[in-house]
Structure 1
């Protein structure tokens, strides 16, 4: 199986607390928003709150 080419994204690995996984899965299913897009939004919010003044978009 070939590794998919990601033109506008970068793959990274992380982990979540066990109790967050089913909640995150349900949120993605309920909103029909892919998990990667939800993570983009969450990271963007965190960067606005804690990160550099110019967070990437």
Structure 2
């Protein structure tokens, strides 16, 4: 089976605390926002937070 080509995204592998996974799944289901988009938002917020500290 051929691997899908991502044009506007980069695939990476990571892990989460076990207790965060069901919470992320629930949030994604309730908001109907894909988990990848929720993770984008979380990373953007984290980068802004540390940019202020290091800026």
Aligned to 1:3: 3
Aligned pairs, number: 53
Aligned to 2:18: 18
Write 1 or 2 for the structure with the bigger share of helix. Answer: 2
Q: CA deviation at 1:2?
A: 1.0
Q: CA deviation at 1:18?
A: 0.4
For the pair shown, the structure with the greater C-alpha radius of gyration is 2
CA RMSD of aligned residues (A): 1.3
Report Cα offsets for 1:1-57 as digits up to 9, x if no partner. Answer: 11100000000000000000000000000000000000000000000001476xxxx
Runs of at least 4 residues off by over 2 Å = none
TM-score between the two structures when normalised by the length of structure 1: 0.86
Q: Structure 2: any 5+ residue segments left out of the alignment?
A: none
